[in-house]
Structure 1
Amino acid sequence: MYKRLLLLSIFLSNLVSSQTTMTNVISDAVYYDGYAATVSNPVPSGLTRLNNARYTRKLTDTELDSFKAKIAMRVTIGALCDNYDRLGEVFLALVPKSQSTYTIADPNVKRIEVGRYITPFMNKNRTPSEVPYTYDISNLYNVFHDNALRSTYDMYMELDVFGVPYAAQTQVLGCSGRIDVFSGTLTFFSTDTGASVTDSNNLIPILSYNRLNNYNSTDSTGETVRIVTFNLPDPVTNARFFVISTPHGANAGGEEYIRRQNYTYIDDVQVLTYTPGGTSCEPYRVYNTQGNGIYGNVAKTFADWTSWNNWCPGNSVPIREFTLPSLTAGNHTLKHTVPTAVFNQQQGDVYLSVYMQGKSNVTLDVKDIKTVDVNIYPNPTSDFVNVKSKVDVASITLFNVEGRKLTETYRENRIDLSSYSTGVYFLNIILKDGTIFKHKIIKK
């Protein structure tokens, strides 16, 4: 963690000290109670309030042209009348040229999450009264300068921070009756010094702040699984995938406090494994000016922090990345799963974002992505496994753990395991639209 912070600090320092372009997108915008009706308070010039928790601003052609190859994004959140840790995000929104305005739920808008952060416990009457977050988003240089993309879409940056003022109204001096929760600033710094430009020419938004759990938001009943398909009309090389996720659930035994391994698969091949957290939160103690049960009154050891924490109030969330040398044209499936997640008392969620960049011989548009509405149940099973999907099932094939094919059904949405011994098996499921994915089944 300390090394990562040092690298980010050096990265931003190098930007500011060299020939640097600074682009200020949002300055000291005030955010309001996320549960209240959208306020009618004046909006800073050039901004649009999408709701109390999110502002958006269109990037001008001059600004897009000015971006250099190495880009740092700085988010600064200021304390107002929310003294708890909250989630915030930065999104790049691609809005069709034919639209001069849009809403947060507009189906025509393509959106990718480019940064996520956790606010500290802040008392606005104590210093420091703001917290900075810095990200290396140099990969977006290709997006900002893509003429084909810019001819179809206008590019907007959205800064989101959801807050509520109820605790601060009684705990923080000067907050009685107020519903302003945070202030937010979004700034880019860019330079060509030490930069190497890639030649990505396509962008695939796959998941944007998607809610995932094992009780009412999953693609496999009883499991924490998200399955998404995307189509490539032409082969893609150097496909870079960017993943942001955080587990939440502050109840006793909640997912915020228990570290779980996450697995990501592309076309049934495991490509990313990680466990959130595992870092010391001590570097961010200084920003937590409101007493709280996370930091306590005294410094904690590295072992104390890493035994349970998934993220730190006051820190940015890691952007994880993996690269595939090549992807063929046609349908592909991304599967993300957290097998040991419990969601005690059916509370909490994992919030998951994924997007892809790559290179094709043909300039690609931003592609429509669909989340496969599939339930696979029951699991474990004593006999039949059912596949429920809006798309008809073409075939289901059963394999043992050694990979030997045992049986296969066609144009049926279930398969019988009653004649097989207890243990672990794998289903290979093909839907009629060409979507293919595997799923682990336990025979009891």
Structure 2
Amino acid sequence: MSIFFVNPAWSQTTMTNVISDAVYYDGYATTVSDPVPNGLIRLNNARYARKLTDAELDSFKAKIAMRVTIGALCDNYDRLGEVFLAMVPKNQSTYTLNDPSVKRIEIGRYITPFMNKNRTPSEVPYTYDISNLYSVFHDAGLRSAYDLYMELDVFGVPYAAQTQVSGCSGRIDVFSGTLTFFSTDTGATPTDANTLIPILSYNRLNNYDSTDVTGETVRLVTFNLPNAVTDARFFVISTPHGANSGGEEYIRRQNYTYIDDVQVLTYTPGGISCEPFRVYNTQANQIYGAAPKTFDNWTSWNNWCPGNAVPIRGFTLANMTAGNHTLKHTIPTAVFNQQQGEVYLSVYMQGKSNSTLNVKEIKTVDVNIYPNPTSDFVTIQSKEGVASITLFNMEGRKLAENYGENRINLSAYSPGVYLLNIVLRGGTTFKHKIIKK
């Protein structure tokens, strides 16, 4: 439903309400059979979807804000939630979460606060600027091939609240969720990107091989551009979460993103004060405590704030050639104590080309490179197998090369930083820095 109203800041604003107060249930339980709100699809206990109508898509203006509102029910802990744009083959009346024909990009992520449903405020809002999706919503070619659905996800677990929150005994409803868009043409120019590449959608960066060794895992993705692309904008969302003492949840460590072996993004999660979000954390918890914390205290350790939206980071490449490209994301000093913890990563790209908007298949490759640092051998593990490994010094001189082996020996070389050029049997090629102790 779209309605119009006058607002001092957004003089003519379209409001599109997609999901209203949908009830979410225990994410570990069998999918409930409770009635589904009109027009929604329940993909599982943690995710609802609704198709955007043609009238709604046509109504989107150049500047688009997305608001997620999460209400407290019977989960009083911090959880991760996401918003996805799902592209479903045209006129397919329903779909499943793992339907391979559905293309999906994550357009927003948030962290629920520690909420007690009996205390106010009992809901928390999250706001995102998604103006870049104007060209997606209005693309006739894309809309002729796909129906566009919005998915609102919030995973919750009620077990603690069943004993800690009055009125929650025996209940498995965990949160309520609302998704609304606002758009205006005031002070904005419509985007004109016509290439959309969904590279990663909530993929686990680490710990898919259950490793406790730092620097062992690298996430690689290869994608193909049928035509050259200009003004290629990449959107990156990641969260370190649940990794025990000393792990990724509480220790701030640098993340690195590469395109075709060129470092394009470096960041350290967190580093802000969580005090502005204290008001939403109505259930006592160890993160906020009873008294306010200083800015220095918060920024010394926090990777995120319960009650806050996760930053959408990004970078732009002026020109990308047609053909295959590789994205690599790594946290070289990551620690996953007792094989616990995850870093979920989403990346998509928009740009301009001389073809119509396209959504292409993406190939994901999991690679382990370890140990790093090393005193002798470095091993590369991948299901694709290793075709060759070439060792270079940082001046670019080739030092050694192995074919058909998955490891190379650095014991004969001086301590320092070296570069591996790795070719997998499936054709993926990438470079990776190694420290020799």
Q: If the TM-score is normalised by the length of the shorter chain, which range does it land in?
A: over 0.9
Task: Write the distance in 2 (CA, Å) between the matches of 1:397 and 1:224.
Answer: 19
Pair 1:46 & 2:39 matched: yes
Does the alignment pair 1:195 with 2:212? no
Q: Determine whether 1:155 maps to 2:157.
A: no
- The corresponding residue for 1:204 is 197
- 1:281 maps to 274
CA 284–375 in structure 1, closer or farther in 2 if over 3 Å, else same: closer
Cα distance in 1 between the residues matched to 2:241 and 2:164:
24
Report matched runs for 1:42-81 at 5 Å.
Answer: 42-81=35-74
Report the more deviating stretch, 395-404 or 279-288.
395-404
* Other-structure match for 1:4: none
Unpaired runs of 5+ residues, structure 2, are 1-5
Tell me, in whole angstroms, the C-alpha distance in 2 between the residues paired with 1:393 and 1:179.
Answer: 47
One-letter code of the match for 1:286? Answer: V
Q: Deviations over 1:281-322 (max 9, x none)?
A: 111111111111111111111111111111101110000011
SS of corresponding position for 1:256: coil
What percent of counterpart residues are identical? 84
Identify the range of structure 1 (37-46 vs 99-108) with the bigger mean alpha-carbon deviation.
99-108
1:266 aligns with 2:259: yes
Letter in structure 2 aligned against 1:396? I
- Say yes or no: does 1:245 pair with 2:238: yes
Cα distance in 1 between the residues matched to 2:118 and 2:196: 43
Query: What amino acid sits opposite 2:359 in the alignment?
Result: V
Distance in 2 (CA, whole Å) between partners of 1:292 and 1:43 is: 33
- Aligned residue for 1:346? 339
Q: 1:393 to 1:173 in 2, by over 3 A?
A: closer
Aligned pair 1:31/2:24, yes or no? yes
Encode CA deviations 1:166-199: one digit per residue, 9 max, x unaligned. 1111111111111111100000000011011222
CA distance in 2, matches of 1:291, 1:373: 40
Given that 1:116 and 1:317 are in contact with CA atoms closer than 8 Å, whether structure 2 keeps it comes out as: yes
**Shift of the alpha carbon at 1:325?**
0.3
**Tell me, what secondary structure is at the counterpart of 2:167?**
coil
Partner of 1:317 in structure 2?
A: 310
Contact 2:218 2:367 in 1 (8 A): no
| 1:308 matches 2:307 | no
Q: Aligned pair in 2 of structure 1 residues 269, 222: CA closer, same or farther (>3 Å)?
A: closer
| SS of residue matched to 1:227 | strand
CA distance in 2, matches of 1:38, 1:380: 45
1:201·1:364 contact (CA, 8 Å) conserved in 2?
A: yes
| 1:214-233 residue CA offsets vs partner (Å, 9 max, x unmatched) | 56269x99524211111111
1:8 aligns with none
Partner of 2:414: 421
Deviation at 1:392, TM superposition (A): 5.5
Query: TM-score if structure 2 supplies the norm length?
Result: 0.93
For normalisation by structure 1, the TM-score amounts to 0.92
Q: Deviations over 1:138-180 (max 9, x none)?
A: 0000111111111111110000001111111111111111111
Q: Which residue of 2 aligns with 1:100?
A: 93
Counterpart position of 1:116? 109
2:385 and 2:178 map into 1 onto residues whose CA distance is 48
Residue 257, structure 1, aligned to residue 250, structure 2: yes
SS of 1:230 mapped into structure 2: strand
Structure 1 residues not aligned, in runs of 5+: 1-12
Shift of the 307–385 alpha-carbon distance from structure 1 to 2, 3 Å rule, reads closer
Q: 1:139 — aligned with what?
A: 132
* Structure 2 counterpart of 1:329: 322
Matches of 1:275 and 1:297, distance apart in 2: 27
Question: What amino acid is the match of 1:362?
Answer: S
Q: Note closer, same or farther for the CA distance 1:301–1:417 as it changes in structure 2 (3 Å cut).
A: closer
Aligned to 1:435: 428
CA offset at residue 423 of structure 1?
3.3
Higher mean C-alpha deviation, range 334-343 or range 431-440: 431-440
Query: After the TM superposition, which residues 175-194 of structure 1 pair with which residues of structure 2 at under 5 Å, given as runs?
Result: 175-194=168-187
CA–CA separation in structure 2 for the residues paired with 1:215 and 1:48: 30
Conserved 8 A contact 1:214-1:225: no
Mapped contact 1:221–1:375 kept (Cα < 8 A): no
Check conservation: 1:118, 1:312, Cα contact below 8 A. Answer: yes
Mapped partners of 1:224, 1:374: distance in 2 = 6
Structure-1 residue corresponding to 2:84: 91
3-state SS of paired residue (1:373):
strand
1 CA distance for matches of 2:379 and 2:274?
A: 45
- The structural deviation recorded for 1:256 is 1.3
Counterpart Cα distance in 2 of 1:241 and 1:320: 8
Alpha-carbon separation, structure 2, partners of 1:386 and 1:328: 32
Check the 8 A contact 1:15/1:189 in 2, yes or no: no
Aligned-residue Cα RMSD (Å) equals 2.1
- Is the contact between residue 279 and residue 302 of structure 1 (CA under 8 Å) also seen in structure 2? yes
Say how many residue pairs are matched.
431
Counting only pairs closer than 5 Å after superposition, residues 397-408 of structure 1 correspond to structure 2 as 397-408=390-401
Aligned letter for 1:151?
Answer: S
Partner SS, residue 291 of structure 2:
coil
